[in-house]
Structure 1
């Protein structure tokens, strides 16, 4: 008997999107972890509740997908679960376009109609949300999250745990420092230091 479980780690709004995308991939989730047993109540999703991440102990055959979008929360949860031996799958929607020469790390999520171009590198647990594009030779740092409609153009370098709001644009060869936050609609024309928050078009430092 095959008792392998496909588990969603975090069942908030982004997690509920992933439930739908996993079904499109033909690999529906069977269970979820969340701090609240009622996280999916009222939404009509029939997943088994396995308890909180603090209580979860993975077993052989389990595969998890991270349903958390906020980079630092995602990093903390991933490291917590991996320390117990949890194994993470990639989730790539069938409508996404991923170049054969692109490299995707552990736990990467690529959502509907996203583009990952030639020789791009997606770090572990990075997210490329719907209708976003990662240009050729981009290096997207681990735990980073692109919201919808983000455009990283060629040769952009992004540090770990960065967040990009909807519609943000980064010009070619720009470097984004670790833990930076790029506001919705921002156009980033120059390199961004670690931990900076950028906004407006062209982007300005807060």
Structure 2
């Protein structure tokens, strides 16, 4: 099997590793991480260094491809661009769990992650570096643009368009014929019945715009980050 590297060694990477092992198309050569120490381990795989080690690793070990296992959309984009700069010929693979259902005439880009129980219905287009999380479903004739993500349990009607870099949080329901703009976040449990513009945070039932946001604003937090910044998060309506 072709050898690949997983970029990332945290919680999201655990799921991606499990998917790749079950996918049975690639062998994981090792991990790259910007913060974890070299030779630390996740499951059976060692951290081989940070991104600066990547060109030498690829050249010396006949590495076929890479998957960027980073959950935050903006951070994933930064890492992908860095990998492209360092190793322009390295292929970005798709990590697709065997229990994913992909319908007729679905178009897939590269660097995507599809988790267990995902449904992508007919005539949809999933572009590049997207995440569709556990038990999420995407209706027919829908488009997910680059670096967008859908969290667990999200249900989306047909003719949906999710903008570049946008994220739909856990348990959201979106009716048919909805467009969500670029770099927008829809909060957990929302019911979306109207289009939502670029660069906002929206949530509620029905979903409404709560505030604007910046393109590089973090929206996924570790438990440590969330506990230490709880008051700040509260003040910012996150």
The secondary structure found in structure 1 opposite 2:13 is helix
Question: Mean alpha-carbon deviation: is it higher for 174-183 or for 50-59?
Answer: 50-59
Give the Cα–Cα distance (whole angstroms) in 2 for the partners of residues 144 and 39 of structure 1.
30
8 Å contact from structure 2 (residues 5, 65) kept in 1: yes
Alignment partner for residue 113 of structure 1, among 98, 117, 139? 117
1:20 alignment counterpart: 18
3-state secondary structure, aligned to 1:136: coil
CA distance in 1, matches of 2:94, 2:45: 19
Q: Which residue number corresponds to residue 180 of structure 2?
A: 176
Radius of gyration: which is bigger?
2
Runs of 4+ in 1 over 6 A off after TM superposition: none
Tell me the residue number matched to 1:34.
33
**Gapped regions of structure 2 (runs ≥ 5):** 211-238
* 1:205 aligns to 2:231 (yes or no): no
Q: Which sits farther off after the overlay, 165-174 or 47-56?
A: 47-56
Q: Is it true that 1:135 corresponds to 2:139 in the alignment?
A: yes
The two structures have a TM-score, normalised by structure 1, of: 0.92
Aligned-partner Cα distance in 1 for 2:12–2:38 = 12
Alignment size in residue pairs: 203
Post-superposition CA distance 1:136-176 (Å, at most 9, x none): 00001110111101112100111101111111121111110
| Aligned mate of 2:171, from 167, 171, 191 | 167
CA change 1:158–1:52 in 2 (3 A) is: same
Q: What are the superposed Cα offsets for residues 44-77 of structure 1, whole Å, 9 maximum, x if unpaired?
A: x121322112442133543111101111001111
Structure-2 residue corresponding to 1:76: 78
Residues 9-58 of structure 1, C-alpha deviations (whole Å, 9 max, x = no match): 11111111111111111234221110233499575x12132211244213
1:145 aligned residue: 149
Verify the 8 A CA contact 2:3 2:27 in the aligned structure 1: no
| Match of residue 51 from structure 1 | 49
SS of structure 2 residue aligned to 1:7 = strand
The structure with the largest helix share of the pair is 2
- C-alpha change, 1:159 and 1:47, in structure 2 (3 Å) is same
Q: CA–CA distance in 2 between the matches of 1:133 and 1:101?
A: 16
Q: Which residue of 2 aligns with 1:99?
A: 103
Q: Tell me the C-alpha RMSD between the 2 structures.
A: 1.9
- C-alpha contact 1:22 1:91 (8 A) present in aligned 2: yes
